[in-house]
Amino acid sequence: MLITVAITNNKKSKIWFINMTKADKKKKKEYSVKEKLSGVFAPIVTPFENEEIIFKELGNNILKYNMTDLKGYMPLGSNGEYQGLTEEESLKILDVVQKYRSEEKIIVAGCGRESAKASVEFIKKATSIGLDFAFVLTPHYFVKDMSDDALFRYFTFIADKSPIPVVIYNAPKFAFDLLISPELMRRLSVHPNIIAMKNSSLFPTAEYKKYIPENCDFYLLAGNVKTFYHGLIDGAIGAVLSTASYLPEYCCKLYQLYMNANYDEAEEMHKFLNDLSGNTVGKFGVPGVKFGMELRGFFGGEPRLPLLPLKSPDRNQIVGYFDNHGITKFDTQAT
């Protein structure tokens, strides 16, 4: 199956109000939370060489992403290898993303720490650099003690003190299988500073949707390509997809097809992306995402230890699949 996708630079799109002066606020419209989160976000990988971050290439990646219809970027998540970064590195990464992103792009970032207090302190530092929403992963070091009541107090403490809106980051894969229960989500959804949940679990979005109170401004985001299309059908307003790190225009195309009610084409694109991810990059985690980026002309770089680069047979398998399915270099001239 050969997919051809036209890329637009979105120059005529409306501009979001982000970190502006009082004078700027009078000139530009401030969009709602729902509008800011509606669309596809790319996780931003941290490119390493010899264990050091290559900040120049990080900036170049953002410049390329600016050419797409991505709604925004998520540095400091699992694909950004946040757990292996120092705080200084994390803040510098955020600073680079902030400086290189085009004005309409929204920045969200992984800000969760194992204690509520540490999470708040990091969010405050990140906000001073430039951040629209703080994604907070469930604390899990003491996973056996993470009852709904404990998690409720954790997220409430953070939301009460955070200077920016908080998004619950529900990712059991990275939290010792700790899942946000629908009832806990319902309790948290009414907090005025908790505005969404990124659902990277396989628990159905439709079931979570049932627990959102009526007239509550709380939204759901899909967290992986497997559940993206059906998540939209079930009420998600957008997604953060590792697939968007190396196939940004394809993921945006799926979202646009769905929003334009071209459901047959959207489902076909979903199947194409789901099969591609499952047969290639998705099997190999962060090293796979980085290699997929390299094949498309982005700079993935090396993973940081203890993660290891892909072995040659795995790399060759991805190359073959991409070639056979018409996946070529990201076309910067198509903008």
Q: Which residues are catalytic?
A: 198
Distance CA 162, CA 134 (A): 9
Contact, 237 vs 32, CB < 8 A?
Answer: no
Token pair 């979202």 is found at 255
Strands 106-110 and 219-222: unpaired
Total Cβ atoms within 10 A of residue 272: 17
Contact, 45 vs 245, CB < 8 A?
Answer: yes
Q: Residue 185: helix, strand or coil by DSSP?
A: helix
Strands 48-49 and 39-43: unpaired
Total Cβ atoms within 10 A of residue 192: 9
Which phi-psi region, left, alpha or beta, contains residue 99 (left: φ > 0; alpha: ψ -120 to 50)?
Answer: alpha
